């Protein structure tokens, strides 16, 4: 893929890239989708370049679709990263040799790149991680156990998580991260995991109920050891309305 981009670089916007922080929630863990390439010992965020005739947001959607197989994903541009030497010496001789790219042709790739950060929220059970090639590794990893990342990708990940925590006070997020049916304790655990703090059960129930985006089902969660809690779904229409207008409360 990289070889094709470099040899056809007139099709891509020089000096601009995209990096995506893709969050999923599973087993009470906030997970992030990471990639390990055959020519690099460190892991990286999914990303790519911007086709010259394509909007930046569209290019980000393409990256997400290629990596998860999903469409209609919640996607938010959150920051731009452009330190002068952010990719200095990273894409050097080892990468060019791996792809058998002549040094002169590789100058397009080794130039300074400003990258635009996006974060996405996806249903872990519906997203199917896709490799870019057979030698690549792509895995969901707990956000608290992320290994060493390339370039400034740790900074990008940290900024995405910080932004998500702030925006959790301004908008609901559960619709994008939970299955269709869920319990209040599961929703609270999602919020606690993102915020990295415990929330009072009664206060959480009161606040989340007052938002008016939940539908209580005449159905209880099965296969639980103790008293089965009620199941809920999101009211999609009200959810979208709140997402558009925003919240005015803190957690």
Q: Which residues of 183-208 are buried (b: 16+ CB within 10 A; e: fewer)?
A: bbebbbbbbebbeeeebeeeebeebb
Quote the percentage of the chain above a pLDDT of 90: 59
Least confident of 151-165, 176-190, 201-215, 222-236: 222-236
Nearest Cα to Cα of residue 206 among 236, 151, 249, 154: 249
pLDDT confidence band for 132 (50 / 70 / 90) = confident
Mean predicted confidence (pLDDT) in 9-16: 85
CA 212/CA 197 separation, integer angstroms: 24
Mean predicted confidence (pLDDT) in 199-209: 93
pLDDT confidence band for 3 (50 / 70 / 90) = very low
pLDDT confidence band for 206 (50 / 70 / 90) = very high
Q: Which residue has the higher pLDDT, 229 or 60?
A: 60
How much is the pLDDT for 39? Answer: 78
Q: Which are the contacts of 186, defined by CB distance < 8 A and separation ≥ 6? A: 178
Sorted by where each starts, the structural domains of the chain and their CATH numbers stand as 2-167 (3.90.79.10), 174-245 (1.10.10.10)
Q: Residue 4 CB: number of other CB atoms within 10 A?
A: 10
pLDDT in tens, 99-121: 777 777 777 777 888 999 999 99
């Amino acid at each position: 893929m990289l070889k094709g981009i470099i040899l056809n670089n007139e099709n891509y916007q020089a000096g601009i890239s995209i990096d995506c922080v893709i969050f999923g929630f599973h087993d009470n863990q906030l997970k992030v989708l990471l990639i390990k390439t055959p020519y690099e010992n460190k892991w990286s965020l999914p990303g790519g370049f911007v086709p010259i005739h394509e909007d930046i947001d569209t290019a980000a959607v393409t990256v997400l679709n290629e990596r998860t197989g999903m469409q209609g994903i919640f996607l938010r541009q959150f920051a731009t990263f452009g330190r002068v030497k952010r990719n200095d010496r990273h894409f050097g001789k080892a990468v060019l040799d791996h792809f058998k790219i002549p040094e002169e042709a590789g100058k397009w790739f080794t130039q300074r790149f400003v990258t635009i950060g996006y974060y996405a929220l996806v249903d872990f059970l519906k997203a199917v991680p896709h490799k870019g090639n057979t030698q690549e590794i792509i895995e969901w990893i707990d956000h608290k156990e992320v290994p060493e990342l390339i370039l400034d990708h740790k900074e990008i990940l940290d900024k995405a998580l910080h932004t998500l925590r702030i925006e959790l006070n301004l908008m609901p997020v559960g619709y994008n991260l939970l299955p269709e049916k869920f319990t209040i304790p599961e929703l609270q655990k999602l919020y606690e995991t993102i915020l990295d703090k415990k929330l009072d059960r009664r206060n959480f129930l009161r606040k989340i109920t007052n938002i008016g985006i939940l539908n209580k089902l005449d159905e209880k969660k099965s296969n639980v050891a103790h008293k089965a809690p009620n199941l809920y779904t999101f009211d999609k229409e009200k959810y979208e309305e709140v997402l558009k207008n925003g919240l005015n409360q803190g957690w």
